[in-house]
Structure 1
Amino acid sequence: MSYERLAKQIIEEVGGKENINSVIHCVTRLRFKLKNESLANKETIKNLDGVMTVVISGGQFQVVIGEHVSKVFAEVTKLIGKAPEDVDTEETTEKGSIFSRFVSLISGIFMPVMGVMAAAGILKGFLVALTVLGWMSEEMGVYKILFVASDGFFYFMPILLGFSAGKTFKTNSYITATVGAALVYPTMVEMYNAGEALSFLQIPVVLMNYTQSVVPIILAAFFVAKLEKVLLKIIPKSLQLIFVSLIILVIVVPLSFIVIGPISVYASQLLADGAMALYSLSPVITGLFLAGVWQIAVMFGLHWAFIPIMINNITTIGFDPINGLLYCTVFAQTGAALAVALKAKQTKLKSLSTTASISGFLGITEPAIYGVNLPLKRPFIMACIGGGLGGAVAGFFSAKMYGGFASGGVFGIPMFIDPEGLSAQFYGFALSLLISLATAFVLTLLFGYTKEIAEKQEEKKSA
């Protein structure tokens, strides 16, 4: 595949570089923000060699590439001559429903950090597994250093999310990161742990621990963006370099400790309590429904709305049951693709489904969904059924994710081990993965990729 050629074709078919406001990429997709989406030739792009499909969601025109997306992205940015941050604020004002704009906002904040977040979470999970099995001690130097590597992201998450939120809100990301740093400054954390009192200009400050928090820095970054716009209008340009940042820090940092932070923490706790209340009504039914439709939500980018809830659960109550229900869906899609790989006669489809199965076990489902299961239709349905059954089993055993965030695949499994030790909860979670995989695999073998479907595929190939 010529990445340069594919990049040229994509740019041309989205309306040319003049129609591109910005472009970023995730694990498998190029995510464009276009000035005029009607100028993009969706069907033409879907049929390009090297493109799996096109999804329009959350204000983004998403071109699904697969594992080679970073290489195509590199060629795209060369050709359009601007980096993702070189965007005119006025041109990129989000349009659409409130929910669509919210999903776009959340994805913009979390997408840049998802890779390292998943890596840190997986490492933390492996450390838990090694200590539970007695293969490593918390007193060992190797454990302490690797724990710092895994926990550093989550401990200082307000700084990293502050930087990412600054970019998303189109404000000075170094200011928002500095606000995040103030929230987790060691002196403030020590005062909170010691139960000390603090006031600011005679105003009492409700000290809280903002390490690993999500909501406070996002709200603070939003406030920074609004305040910066006002200051840029009223402060002379010759004084803006220093005084805009100075005034923002003097106002926003105290405001974050006095108002934004406490309100956010209480709101975060209410959100976690609400999520747990819904979950506790019937974990089995919740798992059956959510896991059954989860990959459909992923296709349309709606899963981003759940990411803050999952992370918030970890930071407020120490575990997250939602990802415990949904983790099996990756294995369901993988099982369906694996069945196609075994039954397919076409060399191209067999190769694609085999590669997609390997990617699926590593937690990347786009090749399986867009390259195999969805085009064939029935395997995707069988995978949804398998995911639903797995989710119900996970709900029955109260599966939970602990201490981090895992995005999918076999390497994230240790994240679901209780730090207190192995229990029926974890074994039930592992069973949910096997049931999802096996159900989708068997159903696809029997009903999802029949002899008739295979013959139709051969007819299409020869047509």
Structure 2
Amino acid sequence: MADDHKHSATAAALLPLLGGAGNIVSVTNCMTRLRLELRDRALVRDGALRALPAVLGVVEDGESYQVVLGPGTVARVAPELERLTAGHGDGAVTAEALAERGAALRAERGARNATPGKLLLRRIAAIFVPLIPALIGCGIVAGLAGLLANLGWLPALAPALGAVASGFMSLIAVFVGYNTAKEFGGTPVLGGAVAAVIVFPGVARVDAFGEELAPGQGGVLGALAAALLATRIEKWCRRRVPEALDVLLTPTLTVLGAGLVTLYGLMFVAGEISTGIGHLADRLLAHGGAAAGFVLGGLFLPLVMLGLHQALIPIHTTLIQHQGYTVLLPILAMAGAGQVGAALAVYVRLSRNGSIRTTIRSALPAGLLGIGEPLIYGVSLPLGRPFVTACVGGAFGGGLVGLLNQLGDKVGSTAIGPSGWALFPLLQGNHGLGRTVVIYGAGLLAGYAAGFAATYFFGFGRGALEELNAAPATETVPEKAA
């Protein structure tokens, strides 16, 4: 009950700083952030909002205003804030002129930031991000089942845990199809129904151009394509089928048309693409592991800043579905290690700046668990150079993990979402759990050390270092100190 009161109090504290209930159009959340659609951005009191103890950072991304609260907390605060804003929609306190002004501001920001490519990536992320909790839960259960099997403990329980872990993955195509249709304006259950064709065991009896299909062939990519096609067919039918026959003909034509195309085309094409992704990832790390890891680990933080990391979600999911784990995520997770090392160096170098040191102390535990937003938006990015040196740390950590992969030690993750220390329960490799954990831990240490060293020696210009250390403890972080 105390926690419930705390989350209610957090929502109540956020509400006036966001411009009141009438200024909030919608409230959603991802794993760490509140995602808010606002009528008038100018009504937000940024300074007071950032000063709230529960707020770890603030991000503006296209049309959404995002408040970083951290995992667990955000899932509990979001419904409380949504409850407080209920009933304060278009006809409440906010005047029409204010709503129009907010719409104009959103359109202006949208024209500036929402490129077609980024919008597409956001829609793809909206399909896969809701699946992450199930991927994490099933991944940890699968790891526990494998551990019990390897140790020979509780032999009767291991198969049950394996079934619990594998059930979701065997039907993930259905969930992808459902979310795809929902995101692109179709009927979700029709998208799921068409995608279900891919995992139906009976497809093994279908002869598609001289080859028998295999259940699951095409995986999540096939499900995505099938549901997109189903949505297009459904919309076409809605425009042309007489209203009296719509309830019968539209779903029938949608399932029939998209289902047949899936069987006699999409499953084969998507299957080839999925296999190609697996081969490419293996070849990339087998033949250029050190260089590939260095580049991937070094560029991941900028990709996150640009929103381009969302393009990797289907790739991770495809690798997990076909190989059991994704070898890319542990390398990309090294970016967080570089961020932690950079923050530690900032803490040491700014020995007289109490404000920044306090921010680092509060954000560091989240950073160690792979939640990078508090350190990124509260420390390294506002300071400028430490963001670049954090990328250097990530590059060295990724390079080490990539090198060891090239030498034959694969390190993968059975789920996407966590990183940092939180990734340890999800690790899987080709040489046993103990060795995999050691290699991943060594990569983290390399990222911490390289990020610290690069930031300590190159993270500040002389003038900026003197200015920041001369700042009183009550000062806020400057916009740019590089």
TM-score bin, normalised by smaller chain: 0.7 to 0.9
* Residue 156 (structure 1) aligned with residue 171 (structure 2): yes
Q: Given residue 233 of structure 1, which amino acid in structure 2 is its aligned partner?
A: R
Aligned to 2:365: 358
**Equivalent AA in structure 2 for residue 235 of structure 1:** V
Q: 1:410 aligns with which of 410, 421, 433?
A: 421
Q: Partner letter of residue 65 of structure 1? A: V
Cα shift at 1:312: 1.9
* Cα offset, 1:402, TM superposition: 5.0
1:112 counterpart = 2:130: yes
* Counterpart residue identity of residue 73, structure 1: A
- 1:54 equivalent in alignment to 2:59: yes
Q: TM-score, normalised by structure 2?
A: 0.77
**CA deviation profile, 1:8-54 (whole Å, cap 9, x unmatched):** 543669x945xx4x5532122233567x9xx6349854763345222
Q: Is the 8 A contact 1:28 1:69 kept in 2?
A: yes
Hey, what does 2:411 align to over in structure 1? Answer: 400
Please list, as runs of the form range in 1=range in 2, the aligned pairs for 1:16-415 lying within 5 A after superposition: 16-17=23-24, 20=25, 23-32=27-36, 40-41=41-42, 45=46, 48-49=49-50, 50=52, 52-57=57-62, 60-67=63-70, 68-78=73-83, 79=85, 96-129=114-147, 131-132=149-150, 134=151, 136-137=152-153, 140-188=155-203, 192=204, 197-199=205-207, 206-210=212-216, 213-280=219-286, 282-339=288-345, 349-398=356-405, 399-401=410-412, 403-405=414-416, 407-415=418-426
* Per-residue Cα deviation, 1:329-365 (whole angstroms, up to 9, x for no partner): 2222233334556766666644432332211222211
Closer, same or farther: CA 293–43 of 1 in aligned 2, 3 Å = farther
Against the structure 1 CA distance between its residues 340 and 218, is the aligned structure 2 distance closer, same or farther, given a 3 Å change threshold?
same
Please list every run of 5 or more consecutive structure 2 residues that lacks an aligned counterpart in the other structure: 1-8, 90-105
Matched position secondary structure for 1:458: coil
What one-letter code is carried by the residue in structure 1 that aligns with 2:178?
A: F
1:7 maps onto 2:22 in alignment: no
Equivalent residues of 1:129, 1:414 under 8 A apart: no
Residue in structure 1 matched with residue 438 of structure 2 by the alignment: 427
Structure 1: gaps spanning 5 or more residues = 84-91
Q: Secondary structure at the match of 2:429?
A: coil
- Could you report, residue by residue, the CA deviation over 1:184-228 in whole angstroms, capped at 9, with x for unpaired residues? 23444xxx3xxxx4259xx76741231792101111111111111
Task: Say which SS state the counterpart of residue 28 (structure 2) adopts.
Answer: strand
Q: Distance in 2 between matches of 1:393 and 1:155?
A: 33
2:93 aligns with none
Report the CA distance shift for 1:141/1:356 in structure 2 as closer, same or farther (over 3 A).
farther
Displacement of 1:158 in angstroms is 0.7
* Native 8 Å contact 2:33 2:69 kept in 1: yes
Question: What is the match of residue 87 of structure 1?
Answer: none
Q: Report deviation, 1:456.
A: 2.7
| Distance (Å, rounded) in 1 between the aligned partners of 2:370 and 2:64 | 23
The separation in 2 between residues aligned to 1:199 and 1:12, in whole angstroms, is 61
Counterpart of 2:388 in structure 1: which amino acid?
I
> In the alignment, is the contact (CA less than 8 A) between 1:213 and 1:315 conserved in 2?
yes
Aligned residues: 434
Aligned-pair CA distance for 1:151: 2.5
Contact conserved, 1:163 with 1:177, CA < 8 A, in 2? yes
Give me the whole-angstrom Cα distance separating, in 2, the residues matched to 1:75 and 1:9.
15
Question: Which residue pairs with 1:454 in the alignment?
Answer: 469
In 2: Cα distance, 1:130 partner to 1:273 partner: 30
**Aligned residue identity for 1:63:** Q
Whether the 8 Å contact between 2:202 and 2:215 is mirrored in structure 1 is no
How far residue 121 of structure 1 moved from its aligned partner, in angstroms, is: 2.3
Q: Which amino acid counterpart does residue 142 of structure 2 have in structure 1?
A: K
One-letter amino acid matched to 2:438: Y
Range moving further from structure 2, 447-456 or 116-125? 447-456
Report how far residue 314 of structure 1 moved: 3.1
Cα 1:344–1:359 shift into 2, 3 Å: farther
Amino acid corresponding to residue 295 of structure 2 in structure 1 = F
Contact 1:122/1:405 (<8 A) preserved: no
Tell me the percent identity: 24
Q: Is residue 138–residue 166 contact of structure 2 (8 Å, CA) maintained in 1?
A: yes
**Matching residue's letter, 1:55:** E
Instruction: Give the direction of change, closer, same or farther, for the CA distance of 1:62–1:128 in structure 2 (3 Å limit).
Output: farther
SS in 1 for 2:471: helix
Equivalent residue of 2:18, what SS?
helix
Shift of 1:247: 2.6
- Structure 2 letter corresponding to 1:380: F
- Aligned in 2, Cα 1:324/1:265: closer, same or farther, shift over 3 Å? same
Contact 1:356 1:368 in 2 (8 A): yes
Q: Distance in 2 between matches of 1:273 and 1:462?
A: 46
